[in-house]
Amino acid sequence: MPNNKPRLLVARIFPQDVMDRAARDYDCIVNSEDANWSGDDVIARAGDVDAILTSARTKYPAEVIQGLPANVRMLATFSVGYEHIDLDAAKARGLVVTNTPDVLTEAVADITILLLLAASRRIGRAAAARARAMGMTIHYHNRSRLAPDLEQGAVYHDTPQSLLKVAQFLSIHCESTPETRHLINEDGIALMPEGAIIVNTARGDIIDDDALIPALESGRIAAAGLDVFAGEPDVDKRYFTTKNAFILPHIGSATVETRNAMGFRALDNLDAFFQGEEPVDRLA
Ligand code: 8YV
Q: Which residue has the higher pLDDT, 123 or 30?
A: 30
Report the separation in Å between the CA atom of 56 and the middle of ligand 1, taken as the mean of its atom positions. 6
What integer pLDDT is reported at residue 121 of this predicted model? Answer: 66
Say yes or no to pLDDT of 141 above 50: yes
Please tell me if the CB atom of residue 103 comes closer than 6 angstroms to any atom of ligand 1: no
Please tell me if the CB atom of residue 80 comes closer than 6 angstroms to any atom of ligand 1: yes
Report the separation in Å between the CA atom of 196 and the middle of ligand 1, taken as the mean of its atom positions. 27
- What are the tens digits of pLDDT across the range 214-264? 999 999 999 999 999 999 999 999 999 999 999 999 999 999 999 999 999
What integer pLDDT is reported at residue 122 of this predicted model? Answer: 53
Check if 141 is active-site.
no
What integer pLDDT is reported at residue 129 of this predicted model? Answer: 37
Q: CB count, 10 Å around CB of 45? A: 16
Give me the sign of the Cα torsion angle 62, 64, 66, 70: negative
Task: Supply the pTM of this predicted model.
Answer: 0.90
User: Using CA atoms, how far apart are residues 85 and 87, in angstroms rounded to an integer?
Assistant: 6
Residue type, 193: P
The single residue of 12, 84, 203, 265 carrying the catalytic annotation is 203
Say yes or no to pLDDT of 125 above 60: no
> CA-CA distances (angstroms) from residue 43 to 5, 10, 38, 65, 234?
21, 13, 9, 9, 24
Ligand 1 atom with the shortest distance to the CA of 108:
9
Name the band, by pLDDT with cuts 50, 70 and 90, for residue 154: confident
Report the separation in Å between the CA atom of 55 and the middle of ligand 1, taken as the mean of its atom positions. 8
Q: Is 77 helix (H, G, I), strand (E, B) or coil?
A: strand
Check if 203 is active-site.
yes
Report the separation in Å between the CA atom of 80 and the middle of ligand 1, taken as the mean of its atom positions. 6
